[in-house]
């Protein structure tokens, strides 16, 4: 499948934390042509293994997305909701949503009190989740037949192609990372490095890095690469908190192993991959944070794709950067696995 088509399809699938089965099945099928075997563990992590011997390398990109869950059904049939992951209520008014009810999906819209009816005090306040309602169109009696408290709610937005090779849509965080990992798998299948590479699409990252933590314990890798998104330069971003969309971003800090970082920078220079460096003086807030502390410790790298408007339905990135991130990871794994026995970690 073409990388852009993969992103279009994978971003459209539901996959809230704890409810990733549908996107997991799609991802498993996508990795099968390039893997020796593909499996799904009890946490819902999809693990595609490429290679049978050599150093054990884990690559992790999370497949879950932020969303909502039903908390109440009101007397007018509207739904109240709570966050599942880091949803900003300010982006919700006017969105289309899908309630994943037991009897099948139900479509709705997110509404709020019209500005014409708001008091001056209400107009000056940012909307909170308690001010928003989800309307599926049915009266309360019918809604209570179809929907249960706890049903997941996903936000809907089609992938939009912008000029200059940019794509905008929902769940680029971190389905774009999954796409980069798929591109890496394709390249590894061609390079055939002397390594065992475990491509993991992890679950429940948005609520505590849970899937990566259990997958790393199970796989016990020699080193790992987390691939996620970071902030892309856009309106209001500061000089040191966001990065050009055209560059693959490497992180430095205590979550990252310095020798591996030096090596991947050298690989990027050899193969003319444009990179930037992000400084994280504490935890990165990505799968790398959980993987690093698995078992006796795992040396980690973090490869990031710059993304504008994070945690909205118009997350915007460069398709070429997704492709370059995948290429860089594959070339790095190929090179380091061929010099594995001679590595000096410190």
Q: Which residues are catalytic?
A: 205
Separation of alpha carbons 225 and 53, rounded Å: 18
Which of helix, strand or coil describes residue 317?
strand
- Yes or no: say if 278 and 268 are a contact pair by the CB < 8 Å rule: no
Taking phi over 0 as left and psi of -120 to 50 as alpha, with beta for the rest, 94 belongs to left
Strands (E), the chain: 37-40, 46-50, 56-62, 67-73, 79-84, 96-101, 104-111, 133-135, 152-156, 160-161, 166-169, 196-202, 223-231, 248-252, 275-279, 300-307, 315-318
Length in residues, the chain: 346
Lookup result for tokens 């948005």: 206
DSSP letter (8 states) at residue 165 = G
34: CB partners within 8 A, 6+ apart? 48, 50, 182, 185, 186, 188, 189
Q: What are phi and psi of 330, to 5 degrees?
A: -65, -45
Separation of alpha carbons 153 and 147, rounded Å: 11
Separation of alpha carbons 52 and 293, rounded Å: 25
- Yes or no: say if 54 and 131 are a contact pair by the CB < 8 Å rule: no
- Looking at the DSSP assignment, which residues form a beta bridge with residue 307? 231
From first CA to last CA, the distance across the chain in angstroms is 41
């Amino acid at each position: 499948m073409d990388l852009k088509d993969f992103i279009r399809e994978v971003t459209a699938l539901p996959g809230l934390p704890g409810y990733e089965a549908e996107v997991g099945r799609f991802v498993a099928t996508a990795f099968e042509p390039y893997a020796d075997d593909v499996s799904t563990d009890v946490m819902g992590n999809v693990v595609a293994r490429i290679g049978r011997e050599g150093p054990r390398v884990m690559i992790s990109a999370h497949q879950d997305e932020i969303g909502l869950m039903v908390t109440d059904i009101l007397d007018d049939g509207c739904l109240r909701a709570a966050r599942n992951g880091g949803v900003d209520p300010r982006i919700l008014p006017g969105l289309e949503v899908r309630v994943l009810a037991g009897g099948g999906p139900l479509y709705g819209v997110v509404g709020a009190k019209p500005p014409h009816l708001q008091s001056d005090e209400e107009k000056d306040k940012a909307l909170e989740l308690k001010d928003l309602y989800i309307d599926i169109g049915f009266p309360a009696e019918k809604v209570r037949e179809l929907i249960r408290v706890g049903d997941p709610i996903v936000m809907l937005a089609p992938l939009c192609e912008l000029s200059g090779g940019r794509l905008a849509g929902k769940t680029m965080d971190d389905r774009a990372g999954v796409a980069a990992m798929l591109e890496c798998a394709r390249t590894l299948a061609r390079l055939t490095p002397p390594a065992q590479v475990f491509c993991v699409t992890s679950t429940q990252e948005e609520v505590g890095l849970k899937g990566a933590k259990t997958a790393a314990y199970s796989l016990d890798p020699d080193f790992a690469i987390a691939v996620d998104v970071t902030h892309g330069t856009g309106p209001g971003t500061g000089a040191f908190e966001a990065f050009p969309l055209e560059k693959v971003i490497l992180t430095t800090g205590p979550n990252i192993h310095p020798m591996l970082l030096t090596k991947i920078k050298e690989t990027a220079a050899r193969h003319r991959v444009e990179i930037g460096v992000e400084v994280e003086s504490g935890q990165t807030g990505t799968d790398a944070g959980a993987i690093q502390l698995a078992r006796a410790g795992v040396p980690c790298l973090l490869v990031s794709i710059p993304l504008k408007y994070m945690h909205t339905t118009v997350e915007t990135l460069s398709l070429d950067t997704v492709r370059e991130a995948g290429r860089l990871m594959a070339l790095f794994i190929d090179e380091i696995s061929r010099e594995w026995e001679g590595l000096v970690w410190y």
